[in-house]
Structure 1
Amino acid sequence: MFTETFTVTSPAAEGGKLVGKVVESPANTAVSFATVALLAARDSSITDGVVTDENGAFTMANVAAGSYLLRITNMGYQTLFVPNIRVSPEANLIDLGSITLIPEAQKLAEVVVRGEKSMIVDDIDKKIVNIGKDMLATSNNVSDLLEKVPAVSLDENGNPQVRGKGNVVVLIDGKPSNLYGSDLPTILQSFPANLIERIDVMTTPSAKYEGEGASGVIDIITKKTKIRGTNGGLRLGLGNKNNHNVSGNLSYRAGKFGLNASLSGQSRGMTWKRTLSRDNFLSEASSHLEQSGTGANKGNNAFGRIGMNYDFNEKNSLEVGMNYSQNNNRNNSNLLNETSNTSGAVVETFRRLNNSKGNGNNMNFNVDYRKKFDKKDHQFNFTTSYSLGESDGESYYVQESEIDSLMRNQQNLRNNNRNSLFVNADYTWPITSKATIETGFRTRMSSNDNTNSFYNKNLETGAYVFDENISNIFGYKDATYTGFMTFSQKTDDWGMRVGLRVTDYNQEINQISAARKFDVHFLTLVPSLALTRKLSDASQLKLNYSRRVQRPEADWLNPFTDLSDPRNIQSGNPNLRPEFTHKAEMGYSNYEEAGGFGPSLFMDYSNNAITRIRTLDESGISLTRYDNVGRELSYGFETDFSKKIGDILKINGSGRVFRSEVVSQVAQIDNRTWSYSGNLNAFITLPADFRASAYVNYEGPRAIAQGTREGVFIANMGIRKDLLEKKATISFNVQDIFLSRAYKSQLMTETYSQSSLWQQTNRQVNLTFQYRFGKISASGDDA
């Protein structure tokens, strides 16, 4: 076991140089092509990495001052960590001498030092959440992981929220998630959790990242192994309500060539209920609507990907990949509608039955090229991706009533075709060891064609008759051209990153059915600023600012009228304009291996805010669509934390108290309230190598445009055990233990008052078995 501290100082140099030789025990022969990674002692993040030559020797040049540990891996050998490597600002050469690897078959009489990543790492402009065994054991897919990330939650449709608010941009390895499909919740449910290395949450992103997303950016980083040989894993999950999943992944690397592949399949099932109660004040004779209904959603999806990478030499590498996804859904619902007059007498009653099915597929191709230069961190990256997809669906509505005029038999046929091209080039230039410029160009072009055909059945002839009044053909194209530049400067105590992102945005909206076509063009500037003051190796102060823009999405613009609920119809708004948000934070963080915390003050101010507005006509029918309503303001206090208590308990979580305001003079909206929210994860080590986990989340009441969204409480729990010398894991998990995932809202305007509820009515219970072979992890550690 290495306990010696390596520290060398010499005349000033641009950076230190680490040299050493890897040999095998007991013969002391050279180990060639071993992977040598340099990890920051603070959080075990990888700062550099090389492969030993044929003589087992390795060299790392231009190593910045700091504290490190070395991780050495090779197929057939035990992973070895060399701790206590300290490089002073004047360091020139650190010779580690011969480092001995132990074959896996040989029993060790001593303890091997192992690194453990902190779950939460506070970077200058983002929070990094490392995904370890505990989170993976209780997560089948990325949606499950996101619920465990501090400050992140999911709405009733499965869309991510940050600090309880939507409009979040989700990236996968820095690329837009819509390259993987058009429906974000389906993408997140399809992506296996065991492919994820970490999740970056940016509430005030730098200009390097997407300028979109009023609430921030979530970047999901997948695993990329550099270990020679073959490794992989299999996963099988069984659950109630037809919630089953199976997945497998395989990685192979030999010399300069690497191959990785994964395949997963999942079936999903859930039941739900909904209620709505509304009083209509608009007409002279006020009316009251009461709705109650139940439904069931079923579906299955498959996801596969394959990637190949080739290292031409130490400075040039190329990766090509492809992924394919497919999904099928079956939904049904039964909704009872009763309308009564002011005296309470029921004036009309009908029941609406809905049976829907749909399917879709998406294919994505990508190419990534990386060029490294002689100077550390000096590199050029080029990425291009092309995706295409199609989805189809059909819905059948039967409306039953004792009143003939309310009887309906309708059909809706849907088709969507889409494609997208993404090109990105980034260049990082370290001007000095303390100053860096990053610049890049990005373009994204997409097209989306939607056809919605609506038919009414003639009850006398039995024939379906096309209804051109509510059918719609909608075409949408956009092209985004973006350039950015950031400048970073750091000293021993201070850090600064300032940036500017310029985006030229072009949008073409074609309402083919209405013979109306128009173009939208605008230029946006997104500045960002981040300042840090280092207080110690583990603690710092920081101040961040970023401007964000939320451009209208295609579905928000499509004027097609959704009549699945004829008393509550929905439609898009082709006249939407972008929303602009100013985001500022001031905080402190202190994270060490045993845990830490990061309190902060934050403020978000949005102008021209895009939100859903519900209006009512005299007949009591409501229309909901997105609109630009005015301004939204949110400010408050937030903290996240993690703590390892001995070898038994590990906890992490976040909490916030904030004020939310929605104000619009034009729409006569003035809604303000204080709120609070938080989540907590706990992982407990039990006797006999069992490991238990518990997760709770509460999102408090929040002001929305026309009322209040009530609080939501969620509780999950699980237990797992490692088997077969920790090559396998079996786990049992229960989600929504108390069936408390209920989404309620209260709306109040001059023309109506409304209360509504949507709730999933089944717990999810899963039993999962995982088996790992070869080298378990690309990083050799567990969070």
Structure 2
Amino acid sequence: MKFTSILIIIFTLLFTTINFSQRGMGNFGGSVTGQVIDNADSSPVEYANVVLFNLADSMQANGTISNEQGIFKLEKIRPGTYYLKVSFIGYESIFVESFEINRNNRTLDLGEILLPRIAYQMEEAEVTADKPPIEYKIDKKVVNAAEYYSATTGTAVDILENVPSITVDIEGNVQLRGSGSFTVLIDGRPTILDANDALQQISANMIENIEIITNPSAKFDSEGETGIINIILKEERSSGITGIVNMNAGFDDKYGGDFLFNYRNSKFSVNLGGDYNNRTYPGSSLEERKTFINDTTIFTNSSGSNDRDRLRWGLKGGIDYNLTPNDLFSFSIQYGSRSYRNLSNISFAEFTDPVSLSNYYLSRNDRDRGGTYYAGSFDYDRKFNNDGHLLKAQIYFSERDFSEESINELVDNNDITTSGRKLTEDGPSESKQFKVDYELPFNETNKFEAGGQLRFNKREDNNNLYDYLPAEGLFILQPQFSSDVNYDRNIHALYGIYSGEINGLGYQAGLRSEYTDRTISLVTNNNDFEINRWDYFPTLHFSYEISAIQQVMLSYTSRIRRPRGWQLEPFETWTDAFNVRKGNPGLKPQYIDSFEMGLQTFWKSNLISLEAYYRKTNNNIERIRSVYESNVTLSTYENIGTTSALGGELMLNSKAFPFWTFNLLGNFYHYEIDGTLGGKDINRSNFNWNVRLNNTFIFDNTTRVQINSRYNAPSVSAQGEREGYFSTSFSIRKDLLDKMLTATLQVRDVFSTAKWESSIDALDFSSYSEFKRKSPMVMLNLKFNINHYKNDKKRNGDRDGGGDDEGLGEEF
């Protein structure tokens, strides 16, 4: 009843607004056009309110909002004399004085309209308004990374934990609308790393903004259950040499830095950047497990230290060359290394009931994974004219060489190793991609798009298992448990999109077709798992402008989530003495149907966004745990029926006072799993929700304080549930030396309340586990601007199309 009532309120608000709002437009006459520009950085202002008034009585005659390029057009204006008001949150309103529309002057172009950012006077100091932290566009949310001071010394994950649609657990794992299956792009290109690894790899200081696309069009890859996260990196557009340098340090062996330099003239630009960051996260974990064998219950309790280290460094460079005003060639390349290490010392206590047998021992675990990678791309953009007729082509290539070593040792009370296992895994992987996109506009509102893509992915895995022999004090290879696996996955795609407008109703219809050719070869026993399949993914998007300050959007997309490589691995991996995991090469891909409806409106100077969504997933992939032997549990993956998520999102962006702005975000949904597991029916559901409150306080033109709080409510899975948790972060930013130097102090998880708790209740065992990082975490960042570096707000406006989230065969 609680969920039903909330859902009724959402749809009532949506449809009441649609039915009773007035468009306030005439039916015939002239037109007025123009472009709204940010006066501070010359970037276009999207969703600016443009309202036309009659000069005689100041009654509203027409209205609209600016598009992605800041361009607006008012049509069907009756003959008369008017004035225009242009406004947007965080900017001063601009009035265009008296002008006339008549038979001899039906079309009027007002050119560029410059909006100045609001400046407040506080204690004799001038304060300039910041950009809104989140901007809502017709097909995506855009997160302005510079507005999240608390994430300055972190990664993309630290920014995302404060934005709508995203949840981040205590270990840094990202979920988009409750699912960990999504695509990550970097500047519209595929990433060489796994999605979560890529987000952990990118320094927050290197990010311009983050685009969250929950219902992508057919232009994008269909991969990912819940959509796309596109990371747009910084690039300077000013002429000459500019640059930016960051250095950071904090408690518990955290330190690093990054730099970005640019040179630009009228014909070409060159950029070079790099970063180095070491992050150590001390933590602790505990688990209480019961295993049921016949009439005997085995109790296994464990607790101890669980430390995680991440070290990453990378170099990147690129060049853009304007062969002609309409022809742009680009080349970019990156090279780097990353490593992840998990060290734990866990004390175990084991006893049985009814026979009271007790054992006590220490488990030492050392898992180290990492290696080097490189990636590059060639891009060519051809503009046939200035009306949007263009052709884009891209060649992308990448390769990585990663290895992993996991060692587990059991130590008795005399510090003697009694048993142990070592697992090694290594092998290169590579990816190649060829992509072409074409856009042909027929007029100002109708456009045809088409394109194709070829993707070739290869990966080799060489896995060896060693057992520890106490008598010899050595790890001895066990060939019968070792394996060599080759992965080949090729995906080729074609798409077409037609978009237009009828009586104020914007529409876009698309179809994407993908052919999957996948082979997993077990070299050791000559066993292959193959897929050869065509899939089709329709998409529909609608938008309707209710008034100058209100717009409603509706969309449907069909998507796929292919199993990840490690979910398919058909061999055993021991994570410690009592836990083993094994993939399932027979996993089927998930197929997803996603519906969304959204409303955006302004109330005074407050931006309000309301969204409702429904997502159904077939062939749902779940991590399943079972008893492997005695007190050892096995983790694997199975297709478990269907899941559904029905819910809504709410965002309020408000300036409560000249010195205080806040951003309130809420996401709530009803989640249900319906399927079979072990021959038994499963039907589990619960109400999930999370809320965030981001506050920014402006003390003067050089000082900002930010306080961010978030709460993630409990959630369920096929076998158990995860508990909710709350956390708060604090940061203060100070500009020095005429903004040539900026210092930011951040404290994350101020009250040490964030932790990961989960429980499982299966047929033959149950468990409760907990993981907590040492907190609060304190970091200091120093940023140096060279030649008054400014972030470009217009970068990669057209590089948001289709990319593979893996690029190296991580999903099959």
Q: Deviations over 1:183-207 (max 9, x none)?
A: 4444323322233222111222222
Cα distance, 1:768–1:778 mapped onto 2, change above 3 Å: closer
Bigger relative contact order, structure 1 or 2 (CA pairs below 8 A, ≥6 apart): 2
SS in 2 for 1:341: strand
Counterparts of 1:244-393 in structure 2, within 5 Å, are 244-343=255-354, 345-393=356-404
Per the normalisation by structure 1, the TM-score is 0.85
1:127 partner letter: K
Matched with 1:128 is 142
Q: Distance in 1 between matches of 2:85 and 2:451?
A: 30
Instruction: Tell me, yes or no, if structure 1 residue 173 matches structure 2 residue 179.
Output: no
1:490, CA displacement in angstroms? 2.4
Matched with 1:703 is 716
SS in 1 for 2:559: strand
Matched with 2:9 is none
Instruction: Tell me, yes or no, if structure 1 residue 757 matches structure 2 residue 763.
Output: no
1:247, CA displacement in angstroms? 0.9
Match of 1:469 among 471, 477, 480: 480
Matched with 2:174 is 160
Q: Distance in 2 between matches of 1:47 and 1:97?
A: 14
Cα distance, 1:767–1:135 mapped onto 2, change above 3 Å: closer
Matched with 1:740 is 753
Match of 1:677 among 690, 702, 709: 690
Cα distance, 1:384–1:158 mapped onto 2, change above 3 Å: farther
SS in 1 for 2:739: coil
Q: Structure 1: any 5+ residue segments left out of the alignment?
A: 1-9, 23-33, 50-61, 71-79, 100-110
Per the normalisation by structure 2, the TM-score is 0.82
Contact conserved, 1:371 with 1:381, CA < 8 A, in 2?
yes
Contact conserved, 1:649 with 1:682, CA < 8 A, in 2?
yes
Counterparts of 1:513-552 in structure 2, within 5 Å, are 513-552=524-563
1:11, CA displacement in angstroms? 9.6
Instruction: Tell me, yes or no, if structure 1 residue 722 matches structure 2 residue 735.
Output: yes
Match of 1:144 among 140, 158, 172: 158
Cα distance, 1:48–1:228 mapped onto 2, change above 3 Å: farther
Instruction: Tell me, yes or no, if structure 1 residue 412 matches structure 2 residue 423.
Output: yes
Match of 2:614 among 575, 578, 603: 603
- After TM superposition, the structure 1 stretch with the greater mean CA deviation from structure 2, 232-241 or 708-717, is 708-717
Q: Distance in 2 between matches of 1:392 and 1:622?
A: 25
1:139, CA displacement in angstroms? 4.6
- After TM superposition, the structure 1 stretch with the greater mean CA deviation from structure 2, 688-697 or 311-320, is 688-697
SS in 2 for 1:303: strand
SS in 1 for 2:157: helix
Matched with 1:686 is 699
Instruction: Tell me, yes or no, if structure 1 residue 645 matches structure 2 residue 656.
Output: yes
Q: Distance in 1 between matches of 2:603 and 2:221?
A: 30
Q: Distance in 1 between matches of 2:320 and 2:497?
A: 29
SS in 2 for 1:683: strand
Matched with 2:585 is 574
Q: Distance in 2 between matches of 1:443 and 1:115?
A: 45
Q: Distance in 1 between matches of 2:550 and 2:33?
A: 24
Instruction: Tell me, yes or no, if structure 1 residue 220 matches structure 2 residue 231.
Output: yes
Q: Structure 2: any 5+ residue segments left out of the alignment?
A: 1-27, 50-64, 76-83, 115-124, 796-812
Matched with 1:30 is none
Cα distance, 1:345–1:495 mapped onto 2, change above 3 Å: same
Q: Distance in 2 between matches of 1:727 and 1:641?
A: 33
Cα distance, 1:420–1:586 mapped onto 2, change above 3 Å: same
Contact conserved, 2:582 with 2:636, CA < 8 A, in 1?
yes
1:578 partner letter: P
Q: Distance in 2 between matches of 1:98 and 1:683?
A: 28
- After TM superposition, the structure 1 stretch with the greater mean CA deviation from structure 2, 487-496 or 548-557, is 487-496
Q: Distance in 2 between matches of 1:423 and 1:781?
A: 25
Q: Distance in 1 between matches of 2:503 and 2:132?
A: 23
Matched with 1:75 is none
SS in 2 for 1:685: strand
* RMSD (CA atoms): 3.6
1:226, CA displacement in angstroms? 2.7
SS in 2 for 1:286: strand
1:12, CA displacement in angstroms? 7.3
Match of 1:560 among 571, 591, 594: 571
1:362, CA displacement in angstroms? 0.7
Match of 1:434 among 442, 445, 455: 445
Aligned length: 726
Matched with 2:511 is 500
1:719 partner letter: I
Cα distance, 1:592–1:371 mapped onto 2, change above 3 Å: farther
Contact conserved, 1:210 with 1:217, CA < 8 A, in 2?
no
SS in 1 for 2:167: strand
Contact conserved, 1:164 with 1:699, CA < 8 A, in 2?
no
1:423, CA displacement in angstroms? 1.8
- After TM superposition, the structure 1 stretch with the greater mean CA deviation from structure 2, 367-376 or 769-778, is 769-778
Contact conserved, 2:468 with 2:474, CA < 8 A, in 1?
yes
SS in 2 for 1:301: strand
SS in 2 for 1:407: strand
